[in-house]
Amino acid sequence: MELELLLAHADDHRPVLESGLPDDSLGQAQASAQRSQTPTHLSDPGGDPNDLAAQRWAVIAPEGPAGDRLLALVAPLRQWREQQQGAPARCFRVAPGLGGPEAVRWKNTVLRDESVPEREWPRYLLILGDLGQVSLEFQQGLGSDVFVGRLAFRDERGLEAYVDKVLRWERAPSKESRARSLFFTAHDGTAATRVGYQQLVLPGIQACRARQQRGELNADIQEVGSTEDWSAQHLLDQVAMPRPGVLLSVSHGLGAPRKGWSSVSEQQALQGAMSLGREHLRAEDVASRPFLPGGFWVYLACFGGGTPQSSPYFHWLRRLQDAGARMGSPESVLASLPKAGEPPFIAALPQAALANPNGPLALIAHVDLAWSYGFSDVDTQTRGRASRFLGLLRELVEGRRAGVGLSALLRFASEANLELTLLEDGAESDRAAGRATEQDGVRRGHLWMMRQDVSGYVLLGDPAVRLPLAPAVSRAVSPSMSNAAALLGLPVGLPMAASAGPGVQGMEEAVVALMTGAESPKAIAARVGVSLAELRHWERTFREAGRAALASLSGSKGQG
């Protein structure tokens, strides 16, 4: 099995690396652990991660006048989040060069200031500004135990439009209560997209449909196009539907043409665009037409989210070439990096989609080279690892916040880093005891590769957004609470079912039984005649209504 790179030249759309890298090349990787990325503690590990009142939301802006302006533009969103969490939203300012170990120290000393009550440490963090203003290393250094998103636009009107869009959707959600789950592959005949389809998209569709049949996934699942009949128009037609959903796409991302980019502006306009065989999907293609309105886009492609200043892969590729690996020229990959004095940047395609009033609320995309290793293992019998992305998709489709969804993917990078740490510690112990150390260089290389590939995915958008789906229940009734619910401190006034069903009392009893563990979830769902996914939806509605009521009471006491 070979490692495949999702990167194509912008002129002829041919893969930058025509052939994949053999799996034994991973022995050449610098497989050191990054101990600082291992999670330490959570803001409220025992609370609901989707609950802003428990987890808190804050904003991070660059220092200086540019940061002041960004904060002014995002003020309406900040005020809205303050209302939702019932507390002020903290604001942090950082210097442009802050990153790496300094970011981890910042997290442990500033974000988690010991003089501030722990309940006020925010777990949702919205970064404002491009990669030259708040570094990518800073964002990644915050780790997977906080929920981080970023908003960066060349034109400040894009930020204004995004804020307006989020507020509009959250104040007036869709009438749809069931999300769409869309899968798209650019079947361009290359090995990379073929591996992506066989090991991620196809098993992902099959797994989602199986969960749907078991009543564990409340979504409509659809493959956009087919291996024989697919195009940009197929994709554009399906994502134009005014129904919130999640799109997972696999394609090459555009890299430098064979003769290089003619200018920085050309590179920033096209790099990371979606390669679709002989055509590509550019920023202007998603800037104004309906494109996944109110939805999420999980975009697998090289530089799909942006381009960093440097990449650890390039040093590795050069070592592989020096070691005699058959891989083509690493200089063709290096040509896509910014030259000396040129800034890193967020790609134009996600900027345009997020600024589109009829576009998505968030994207999860790669800010570096995207390999097939994010969804496959070379050194295991399983090979395909679609589950790494299915957890992310399930969280988003079921209405969890975007930051929570991304954390379901990033945890695999933390697990790989932990294993690397243990391998290093074992080797050090052997050396200290004078024992011979047997280093499995290839295994370490696999772990390094998986960690790097997975941790390259970032969230563009507010990490607190979620699919704006309507609840499956609609009409409020008089407060009513069973004794069991009272003992649990559960909310009152569960809404009436929109259609015939078990009625309010039956719904309430089902939710209480579910939360107390009195019966198995499947038994409860069967007893009241609904799917397991619908029962879980009742539970979420029950919890959220109660939190809103408590927040209201808390606010009233504060005013009194």
In a domain, 44, yes or no: no
- The conformation of residue 178, written as its DSSP 8-state character, comes to S
Query: What is the C-alpha R_g of the chain?
Result: 24
CB contact at 8 A, 331 and 256: no
Amino acid letter for position 551: A
In a domain, 436, yes or no: no
- The conformation of residue 275, written as its DSSP 8-state character, comes to E
In a domain, 32, yes or no: no
Instruction: Tell me the CATH number at 228.
Output: 3.40.50
| 66 plus 127 within the same structural domain | yes
In a domain, 432, yes or no: no
DSSP reduced 3-state for 9:
strand
| 217 plus 353 within the same structural domain | yes
Q: What is the pLDDT of residue 520?
A: 77
Q: What is the pLDDT of residue 25?
A: 56
| 488 plus 392 within the same structural domain | no
Q: How far apart are CA 477 and CA 151, in angstroms?
A: 40
Residue 202 neighbours by CB distance under 10 Å: 17
Q: What is the pLDDT of residue 326?
A: 56
In a domain, 39, yes or no: no
Q: Which residue's structure tokens are 């020096």?
A: 322
In a domain, 407, yes or no: yes
In a domain, 118, yes or no: yes
Amino acid letter for position 324: G
| 139 plus 235 within the same structural domain | no
Q: Which domain does 402 fall in, by range?
A: 2-18+178-414+456-460
Q: Which residues are CB-contacts of 295 (< 8 A; sequence separation ≥ 6)?
A: 180, 239, 244, 245, 246, 247, 360, 361, 467
Full-model pTM: 0.78
Q: Please tell me the total count of domains within the chain.
A: 3
Q: What is the pLDDT of residue 541?
A: 78
| 191 plus 151 within the same structural domain | no
Q: How far apart are CA 66 and CA 78, in angstroms?
A: 17
Series of mean pLDDT values for 10-residue runs along the chain (560 residues) = 77 77 55 40 58 93 96 98 94 89 88 90 96 92 87 96 97 92 94 90 92 87 91 91 94 92 95 91 95 96 92 69 59 80 95 98 92 67 70 90 89 70 72 70 67 85 95 40 40 38 74 75 82 78 70 53
Q: What is the pLDDT of residue 97?
A: 81
Q: Which helix (H) or strand (E) element contains residue 298?
A: strand 296-300
DSSP 411-443: HHHHHHHHHHHHHHHHHHHHHHTT------HHH
